[in-house]
Structure 1
Amino acid sequence: MNKFCIVIPNYNHTSVIAAVLTSLAEYNLPIIMVDDASNEAAKAVFSALTQQHPLLTIVTHEHNQGKGGAVQSGLHYAYQQGYSHAIQVDADGQHNLADLAQLLRLSNANPQALVSCCPIYDASVPKHRYLARYLTHVWVWIETLSFEIVDSMCGFRVYPLGACEKLLKEVKLGKRMDFDPEILVRLYWRNVPFIFLPSQVIYPENGLSHFQPLHDNVRISWLHTRLFFGMLVRSPWLIAHKLKRRYGR
């Protein structure tokens, strides 16, 4: 059986984090929350939460690194603590945490795979965010020459830590909103299998978002430029891999 923990990146998310932790408590799993240099008011909330949730550990950044940097710190810490798999959960309450049980079952049955939710959106999703996500998915399909990565942006996923730790030691990944798609593409390039589970996602009214339209779109555009040329170098292997998966040879 896999040895699981939960990793939550958090930068000043306080409005729903208590409810998120309460929902997660029923799974009785260790939780690593990475405080990405939040303000003092948020730190006070986090400190109080450690008193209510004995399985909660806070890892603190001295300086803000971005969501991707926080997840990377959480994954590295989890690996050092001896966990085999880490479940990334966002701190903003978007995810349907009832699906965690199914994610755990799929991961236990497929321990080498990265298991991720694939969002089913309701009317709360901002249209520009939806279209931007779809554009990223198209780039990821080009960069992998495959449709196997159904969704590349959802932050509700189970990482096989051995493969992730090796990747993070060998490649410098983006530390902000570019992290989520990049780690999937690079793990695909390393022959890590993927499993996707449809899951309802909501955008809470007045929810806090740290997406910076100008800077993050520039980062993501530069990411896809690098990955595109990385795909060209790997294209013979990617084509052979696709044919092998299709014909079993």
Structure 2
Amino acid sequence: MKNCVVIPVYNSPYIDEVIKDALKYDYKIIVVDDGSDKKVSVPDDVILITHKQNMGKGEAILSGAKKAKELGYNFFVTMDADKQHLASEIHKLIAAYKTDSIVIGNRDFQHENVPDSSKFGRKFSNFWVKLETFKTLGDTQSGFRIYPTNILDLNIKNKRFDFEIEVLALHSYRNGNIIDVETDCYYPPSDERVTHFDKVKDNIRLSLIHTKLVIQRYLLLRGILWR
């Protein structure tokens, strides 16, 4: 079977461009519309899953994972709908993939349009994930990833932006492999940038999930909590 790409989308004006980019490389595409205000339409050869209301990026990825598994795929690639991830770079993730691994596309931040807040956020996230997983990773905030479909077996509680942190920790707790690989990306100028990250609500969610995961790791080490 061809490789499978899952694209979660919520109110992105660039979704058509992202789909066309992936189609150029003959990937099977699953678009998950996470309750967008304007109905998303896709070409006939693209699978569309629609959430009636916005449920969060993590929930959209899990919906895509379920469909990918149903279609017989063992893993799938995730791309954001903001044009930042390039379909031409997917082959690098696939080349690095090993059975049941999560592969993260470590974005090249040597672009003039990358804001300082994003650079700081990545360093901050990498620091905490290292404490939670004992793994040194270059870009724990990247949504350009390969997931094995068995992430559906994880007891993931957080379904918004904090999903992408929790899934790394839970996968690591069961001794799952996490690989990162350098990838190029497109970082649009500020007037073209689309983000649904709430600097207050989502930063609170991320602080809470990091606190929870650090405590879990400590309890695992002490033998108080089991995988």
1:220 and 2:213 correspond: no
Alignment TM-score, normalising by the size of structure 2: 0.90
Q: Structure 1: which 5+ residue stretches go unaligned? A: 238-249
Matching residue of 1:98 = 88
1:74 and 2:64 correspond: yes
Q: Could you tell which deviates more after superposition, 71-80 or 28-37? A: 71-80
TM superposition shift of 1:236: 5.7
Matching residue of 1:177 = 161
Matching residue of 2:47 = 57
Q: Which structure features the higher share of helix residues?
A: 1
AA aligned to 1:208 is: V
1:148-187 equivalent positions in 2, closer than 5 A: 149-162=137-150, 164-167=151-154, 171-187=155-171
Q: 1:38 aligns with which of 28, 36, 39?
A: 36
Q: 1:209 aligns with which of 191, 195, 206?
A: 195
Contact persistence 1:35–1:61 (CA under 8 A): yes
Matching residue of 1:240 = none
1:225 and 1:235 map into 2 onto residues whose CA distance is 16
Matching residue of 2:107 = 119
Which secondary structure state, in structure 2, belongs to the residue aligned with residue 201 of structure 1? coil
Which secondary structure state, in structure 2, belongs to the residue aligned with residue 20 of structure 1? helix
Name the larger-Rg structure.
Answer: 1
TM superposition shift of 1:97: 2.2
- The number of equivalent residue pairs is 220
Which secondary structure state, in structure 2, belongs to the residue aligned with residue 211 of structure 1? coil
Q: Could you tell which deviates more after superposition, 226-235 or 212-221? A: 226-235
TM superposition shift of 1:29: 2.0
Matching residue of 1:245 = none
AA aligned to 1:229 is: I
Q: How much is the aligned-residue C-alpha RMSD, in angstroms? A: 1.7
2:4 and 2:30 map into 1 onto residues whose CA distance is 7
AA aligned to 1:50 is: P
Between the two proteins, what is the percent identity of the paired residues? 32
Provide, for residues 125-151 of structure 1, a one-character-per-residue CA deviation record: whole Å limited to 9, x for no partner: 11112212211110100112332x332
Alignment TM-score, normalising by the size of structure 1: 0.83
